[in-house]
Amino acid sequence: MQTDLSSRVRGALIGCAYGDAFGMPTEMMTRELLDRAFPGGVMRLEPSSRLDFFGRQFPAGTVTDDTQNTVLVCQAIVEGQGEFETERYLGLLRRWVARNADRAAMVLGPSTARALRALDDGVPLDQAGRMGTTNGSAMKVGPIGIVYDYRDTVTLVDAVERLCLPTHNTGVAIAGAAAVAGCVSYAVRGGTDFDAMWDVARDMAEAGARRGNQLPGPLLGERLAYMRDLVMRAMPDEVIRQIQDFLGMGFETVQTVPAVLAMVTLGEGDPHRAAVLTANTAGDTDTVAAIACTICGAMNPDFSREKIDLLQRANGLDFDGLAEGLLPFVR
């Protein structure tokens, strides 16, 4: 049992980096720009192109803030002896930004960057993220899902709320991060049934939606229900078309999280298939792929040695070390 758990934890962490790096070259491209930059589509880890939306020149296998923040959450949990604490994570984030100013300017999400500026200006911790509705917490919540058990809803959502507090302290962002954490937790604990995964996501979203600053807008639970029905009744090409042209796959949590579950389901839990589907759909490809492949990596953790080595070399990552740090604290 422990060997299986270890494999799933490691697979979730590798999956995060794999999806992030796979989606990086097409991040925030329109359909037209994506087709110009990659006429044959993105089928493997690619470097950023000359048409990169952000003007980056990243080599193949390079991750963005999705993985970097996930690593910081891992470190905060380990330093906290299995508990996630807001101030500890915030200190780690500030130190990383200070040491990597140029890179941080290229990869930090809008809500996180805005909240850090507000905190620097003396805005109270519980107010800095009160307008943060984007996917910056959903993208980094994986380690909380690894450590906390989805069957203990209150404890898991409490930890998610602490993560969201400084940057994404809104009902929709907490709901989205809780849904992702629940799905990761479900997969790490051996869950492979997609219907059950959608149920976990909806339950967690509804629990998380009651937390944080309440803003008007679409309900994530309803978006999840709509996407679930679409995935179950429509052909995959039609699902992708609706995500791309109607529902959206942008920075907003209400777009990101339903798209994540769609990619996991359409990819049948396979990290590579989910990454390919996501990278070739116009939108926030790196974040959606990072989250989807975290879930898929826990379900199917057998990544090739070649892919693991490339990701570790390109980014200075140590998947074994990260997994070993978290394992003693898995509930």
The predicted pLDDT at position 74 comes to 98
Give the separation between CA 311 and CA 67, rounded to whole angstroms: 11
Which amino acids are annotated as binding site for Mg(2+), given as ranges?
64-66, 284, 286-287
Task: Please state the domain count of the chain.
Answer: 1
Percent of the chain with pLDDT over 90: 89
Give the separation between CA 271 and CA 267, rounded to whole angstroms: 7
Give the separation between CA 221 and CA 223, rounded to whole angstroms: 5
Cβ-based burial of 172 (10 A; exposed 0-12, middle 13-18, buried ≥19): buried
Ramachandran angles phi, psi of 298, nearest 5°: -70, -35
Q: In terms of residues, how long is the chain?
A: 331
The predicted pLDDT at position 29 comes to 96
Q: Are 281 and 250 in contact (CB under 8 A)?
A: no
Distances (CA, A) of 200 to 121, 173, 225: 38, 17, 12
The predicted pLDDT at position 13 comes to 98
Distances (CA, A) of 290 to 24, 210, 285: 10, 26, 8
Q: Are 184 and 104 in contact (CB under 8 A)?
A: no
The predicted pLDDT at position 99 comes to 85
The predicted pLDDT at position 138 comes to 98
Give the separation between CA 302 and CA 321, rounded to whole angstroms: 17
User: What type of residue is 205?
Assistant: A
Average pLDDT across the chain, whole number: 95
The predicted pLDDT at position 1 comes to 41
The predicted pLDDT at position 106 comes to 63
Instruction: Indicate which CATH number applies to the domain containing 102.
Output: 1.10.4080.10
Give the separation between CA 12 and CA 302, rounded to whole angstroms: 10
Segments of the chain scoring below 50 in pLDDT: 1-2
Which amino acids are annotated as binding site, given as ranges?
64-66, 284, 286-287
Q: Are 9 and 323 in contact (CB under 8 A)?
A: yes
Give the separation between CA 36 and CA 199, rounded to whole angstroms: 38
- Name the residue range of residue 297's domain: 2-329
Q: Are 211 and 253 in contact (CB under 8 A)?
A: no
Each residue of 48-66: pLDDT tens digit?
Answer: 999 999 999 999 999 999 9
Give the separation between CA 205 and CA 306, rounded to whole angstroms: 36
The predicted pLDDT at position 219 comes to 96
| Cα distance between the two ends of the chain | 14
Each residue of 191-247: pLDDT tens digit?
Answer: 999 999 999 999 999 999 999 999 999 999 999 999 999 999 999 999 999 999 999
Query: What pTM, to 2 d.p., does this model score?
Result: 0.96
The predicted pLDDT at position 257 comes to 98
Give the separation between CA 212 and CA 174, rounded to whole angstroms: 7
